[in-house]
Structure 1
Amino acid sequence: MESAGEQAPGVVLHDYLSKLQQYSGRDTILYATNWMTDEPHTPNEALITNGDLYGFMRMMRDLKTKKLDLILHSPGGSAESAESIVTYLHAKYDDIRVIIPYAAMSAASMLACASNSLVMGKHSSIGPADPQFIFPTKIGMQIMSAQLLIDELQEVQVVSEKHPGRLGAWLPLLGQYPPGLVQKCISSQKLAEVLVQKWLEDHMFAGESDAAEKSKKISGMLASPGKYYSHGRYISREECRGIGLKITDLEADQEFQDLTLSVSHAADILSQFTPINKIIANHLGNSVISKPST
């Protein structure tokens, strides 16, 4: 018989997923992206996209319980795609527990806020949910916060109204932005806030008398760049508690922690031996893997 170290990395991963499911008694799915490396990724390869819903649908085949553990490790992506995943999962499950072994950022942090309960370790983080825009400029592709774009373009408007002669200095900048950008930024900002507020109210704080108030407060902080100043900031477990999220400590159950981190480590090892951008896998041994485009 092969030892765990001699087995193929994918076999080891599914073995730990199976053991975790046997321990918890809940359906178990891993959604992990190979993004904490120096390897380059195109946006579609690294981020949450519409195609991920298909992956989740494949992983749901033959799963039997009404409770799900979702192990989540992702830099984020499309809020609309995250919404489709959340809608689908909650249509299938009465209780969803999201486990963050390392980090769930941006739209992945929004997805985490759609859980009934959130499990984090001392080392775990989520990130701000303020929308980002990627657009071409004369110096290459640029990523900028929707709110910062709104603020900059509103500043241009104020300057043009008060000092029309200065508008010419802004024209090279304005020429890089497509028409309707401000309204698109405003809509995206509002969407992120509304989705997080709704998911928290419907799931994490369901049935609580102050659910609406708490959900609105938390969603406003996560969707605003003014709270954390950078979209890439890591929000720790204690900070998550501080803003009002309900968190269960991963360390509270040693065996559960060991099995969860073993799943995460096995996924990391698999990505080292196989070119993987993203993997969605369940405890039955099924998986959907996204590989780098050639």
Structure 2
Amino acid sequence: MPSYAEIANDVLRLMESVGEQAPGVVLHDYLSKLQQYSGRDTILYATNWITDEAHTSNEALITNGDLYGFMRMMRDLKTKKLDLILHSPGGSVESTEAIVSYIRAKFKNVRIIIPYAAMSAAAMLACSSNCLVMGKHSSIGPTDPQFIIPTRTGMHIMSAQFLISEFQEAQSVSEKHPGRLGAWLPLLGQYPPGLIQKCISSQKLSVELVQKWLARYMFENESAAVKKSKKISEIMSSSKKYHSHGRRISREECKRIGLKVTDLEDEQEFQDLVLSVFHAANTMFQYTPVNKIIMNHLGNTVVETLPTPR
């Protein structure tokens, strides 16, 4: 398997003749080789979110626009089997739901390959597969909803469950000791009206979608599909279990909680091709302004770039 450095050197040499198109040419080549090996339609969805500056960028998140990207990717695909290579920090739950519905309207069997990490809503997307493929280094993340809240000290990302628990604690204190409510008012006054109901609704949606997808696809035709799916969806959305939304759920933990996972290392050539695709995608992030890429093995491509600083 070529290393990241070797693939980057190939891209740099090719850039001398074709310029910024070189990373895309190399990436398409590896995607095509992967499809030829597997015999399954193949799509890459990857964003540049590993560096700190990209991690917090809205351009790295799953959005409504990504549905258009998947529509472009799937237009010329012919089979009922899909390999989706997924590398994402997550994003909109509603956009993820739309993407899953669109993919599942076409493909009977979906295998989602995680070469590095799929977090938050991307982990929810992973749960819409028939099977996950993960390496020993791969991970998914908790699915508990998060909210960006404006406060007096700036914008903060907070867990829906944390906010619900905080309001419940304030309610309990005010009922038992009404005189202490004043201490809570400055804190609670920062939050917009309706926030707690929105937290409760988002939490329910996250659990319900994961449960539905697992039962319908990963555990299809299993007698205990509903029970198993409910248990897994509740575990994955539990902020009390994982304590941090950025916590990594390893391949072994995925297996322990009941997800169907195939080891990437089971087939050496397949592993080499998957990681080469991942490395090639990262060269595109390194050498071009591209911040998100959706590409299929036919070379159909949709990219998004970071906005140019003013």
Residues 131-162 of structure 1 show CA distances to partners (whole Å, capped at 9, x for unaligned) of 00011111111000000000001111111112
The range that moved more, 141-150 or 274-283, is: 274-283
Q: CA deviation at 1:4?
A: 3.9
Work out the CA distance in 1 between the residues paired with 2:57 and 2:102: 23
Q: Does the Cα contact within 8 Å between 2:147 and 2:157 map onto a contact in 1? A: yes
Deviations 1:193-240 (A, max 9, x none): 000000000000000011111101100100111111111110110000
**Structure 2: gaps (5+ residues):** 1-8, 15-21
Residue of structure 2 in register with 1:258 after alignment: 272
Pick aligned residue for 1:172 from 174, 186, 193: 186
- Residues 43 and 82, structure 2, Cα contact 8 Å, conserved in 1: yes
1:1-294 equivalences under 5 Å are: 4-5=10-11, 6-7=13-14, 8-40=22-54, 43-294=57-308
% identical equivalent positions: 75
- Once residues 4 and 22 of structure 1 are traced to their aligned partners in structure 2, the CA distance between those partners, rounded to angstroms, is 21
Cα distance in 2 between the residues matched to 1:58 and 1:251? 31
Q: Displacement, 1:40?
A: 4.2
3-state SS of paired residue (2:53): coil
Q: Write the letter of the residue equivalent to 1:97.
A: R
Contact 1:125 1:235 in 2 (8 A): yes
Tell me the amino acid that sits aligned with residue 49 of structure 1: T
Work out the CA distance in 1 between the residues paired with 2:125 and 2:92: 11
CA distance in 2 between counterparts of 1:114 and 1:103 reads 16
Alignment RMSD (CA, Å): 1.2
Cα distance, 1:287–1:278 mapped onto 2, change above 3 Å: same
The residue type paired with residue 185 of structure 1 is C
Aligned equivalents of 1:238, 1:42: Cα separation in 2: 28
135-144 vs 158-167, which deviates more? Answer: 158-167
- The 8 Å contact of residues 54 and 60 in structure 2, kept in 1 or not, is answered as no
Q: After TM superposition, give the deviation of residue 41 of structure 1 in Å.
A: 5.7
Q: What residue identity is the alignment partner of 2:264?
A: L
**Gaps in structure 1 of 5+ consecutive residues:** none
Q: Distance in 2 between matches of 1:73 and 1:139?
A: 32
Query: Normalization by structure 2: what TM-score?
Result: 0.92
User: What count of residue pairs does the alignment treat as equivalent?
Assistant: 292
- Return structure 1 stretches of 4+ with deviation > 4 angstroms: 40-43
Higher helix share: 2
Aligned 8 A contact 1:133 1:143 in 2? yes
AA aligned opposite 1:15: D
Cα pair 2:141 2:246 within 8 Å, conserved: yes
Which stretch shows the higher mean deviation, 32-41 or 9-18? Answer: 32-41
